[in-house]
Structures are given as C-alpha cells and as structure tokens.
Amino acid sequence: MTTTSERPPARQVSQRVSQSVFDGSRLRVVLLVDVNDGAQQQFLEAYEQLCHHVASVPGHVSDQLCQSIENPSQWLITSEWESAPPFLAWVNSEEHVRMVRPLHGCVRDTRSLRFHVVRETSGEAPGTAGQLQASPRIGDGIIRHALTFTVKPGSEQAVAKILADYASPEPHVDDTTRLCRTSLFMHGNRVVRAIEVRGDLLAALRHVARQPQVRAVEEAINPHLEQDRDLDDPDSARVFFTRAALPAVHHVTTDQGQGAEGERHALYYPARPGEGMRLAQLLAQRDEAAAEDPRNPVLRSTIFQRDEIVVRLLDVRGGLEADAGRVLGLTDARQVADLTTLLDGEGAVSDGVDLRKVVALARMEPITDRCSPEE
C-alpha cells in the first residue's frame, strides 16, 4: 500500500485552456446506438462485417459490443485506439463512409464520444499500445466544430451573398446548450463554417438544422454545390454532412487571450496528399510553443483538419500582417522549411519568402461572424 510519503510529487498543471488530439494518449471511443425495432439481428450482422474490417486498421487495439439489459434497442460500441490521429484518419475517410452505410437502414440514432484515457484502476494491460494522458486539460466549456464544402467555380459571389444575408438562428437550444458563435469564411470556392457551442454539440447542430431560415439558406445554396445533396433524403443529407465535418484537432487560448478580444480570421493550409494530419500536428506544436511567448499576437487558435484540408481559426491582436512570422508560427528558417514539405501547390513557401505574402495566400475571406447576445 502506498503511503503519503511514497506518493510522487504532484504535477504542475497548466491553467492554459487547451485541447489536443496529439499528445499520444490512448483513445477510447464510445458509440451509443438506438436500433430500429425488430432490426437487432440486421444491426448485429452489419456490425460484425464492420468489426472485421476495422480490426485491420492501423492504430486499432480492440472493440466491444454491448446490448442494454433494460432496452434491447439500445446498444453500446466501445473501441480503443493507440492514439487519436489514426482513429480520426479512419473515421473521416471515404472507406469509413462506405463501411457504415449498411448500418443506416437499421438505426434511429447514433452518438459518438471520444476520450483520452487518463487513469486505469488495474494498470495497463500487457501488450496494450499507447500511453495515458499525463495530466488533465483545462477547458473553457466551449465545443468547437466546423463544416467545409466546395461550390461550383463561378458561383462564389452568389454563395457568399446567400451565406451573409441569413437571419441568425435562436441561440438557446435547451437548458444546458447554447449556440455561442458562428463564423463563415471562403477561400476560392471552399466554404468553412465554424461554430462554437456551450453544452451538447449534437443537440446544437440539430437545433440549427431545424431553423426555417437556416433550411432556406441550405436550399438556396444547393444548386451551387459541387457535391449533390437532397436534404429531404436522410441518407443523402447524412453522407453530405459526414463528408463536410471538419473536426477541431487542437485548440489553445494563450494567457494573454484569457478574457481578451481580437480580430477573428481564418487561414487555409492545403496539405500534400496524405500529409494533412502531419501538417495539423506541426501547426499545433507551433501554437503550443507560441503560447509561451508574450509577444505572440495570436490570442486563440483552433486547428481543424480532415484529410488534406487544414484550417486555423484565429483571434488575433493587431491584425494578421502585423507580425506574420508569429501568426504563422514560423520564427526561423528551419520552421519555414518544415512547413514547405507539407504544403501543397501555391501554399508552399520557401526560405526567404515574404511571410506576409504567405498570409495573403492562406487568408480566407470573412463572410459573417455572429455571436449570441450573451457571449
């Protein structure tokens, strides 16, 4: 038995608001499933096929299927992964979209929750890959998420006007959930809609989707989308929004950003094929290092990533061009070179380039930025 004198000294836990998928900790994924009445066997067969495929995905450790003892329609799937990045790479892939299609016809609802493993009462099992999260992170009660999609070239101005002119949805969702802020940006024909929610993200997304003014906007941009969708077809809408999901993989609020306001901007970093996760991780490392610098003009930074799409949402003091190197997280030639190997097309930079031009290339056009009255 461990005595008080034998306990290791308490870790000094940072009070900086931060979230990240890049700390190497093991990941536990919990999927709550509500199966249609009478479809339990169909669901079980679809799961067994899915389970067979996912067992070969790099980074997957194990999974478990459970059925409620109180309500046979309620099922629970838990899976363990070596870390978050391989899970996110798989769950955001086209392969995953295809693999889960058989489940759609037999479930009413699903809810996915993702957790880093912080403590284990029985210790790490022999052979279990990955590590425990070293210390708790400090949150600010805000969940950050984004959607991205492309519109047909030539329709950018029409789409921007549609997205800028809609009436804001009611921010109050329920007693515990509130829509705090919605920010829309465009880069060429790519649209990014970032939202901040206090409470239940899924409840907020469903609440927004039911608002008549939001539905009208979605219908108005339908003819301009590069990927066809039918919002009256649940499967079509589900596939579209699954592909459009742009999850937050890292967030930091600096000490200077606690309670401070800045200009909101977004930067688009197109990654080379297969390098999106590495690029997002590199930017996350730069953000964490920059957060230690009191001269850093970035008050808050959120990195969103899916496949080769990497977006940074920034609240900046003094504008983007005032200190381009620190805004980009590039303070020496080596860091510039590291970024160059991961960026695609004209976004790539080289040593000696004017970093203000890099900011101009990555900068997304702001369409609208709306906060709820209480934020």
Residue-level pLDDT, tens digit, the chain, 375 residues: 444 444 444 444 455 778 899 989 999 999 999 999 989 999 999 999 888 889 999 999 999 999 999 999 999 999 999 999 999 999 998 888 888 888 888 999 889 999 999 988 775 554 455 688 888 888 888 999 999 999 999 999 999 999 998 888 889 999 999 999 999 999 999 999 999 999 999 889 889 888 899 899 999 999 999 998 888 888 888 888 889 999 999 999 987 777 778 899 999 999 999 999 999 999 999 888 888 888 888 999 999 999 999 999 999 988 777 777 778 877 777 787 788 788 887 555 554 566 777 788 889 999 999 988 765
What's the sign of the alpha-carbon dihedral 148, 153, 154, 155?
negative
- How many helices, marked H, and strands, marked E, lie in the chain? 12, 13
What residues have CB less than 8 Å from 85, skipping those under 6 apart?
Answer: 21, 22, 59, 277, 281
Residues linked to residue 371 through DSSP beta bridges, in sequence order = 181
What is the phi/psi pair of residue 220, to 5°?
-70, -30
In the chain the domains, ranked by start, together with CATH numbers, are 17-116 (3.30.70.100), 140-375 (3.30.70.100)
Q: What share of the chain is helix, strand, coil (3-state, %, to 5)?
A: 35, 30, 35
Residue 133: phi and psi, rounded to 5, are -65, 130
The residue among 72, 135, 75 whose CA lies nearest residue 63 is 75
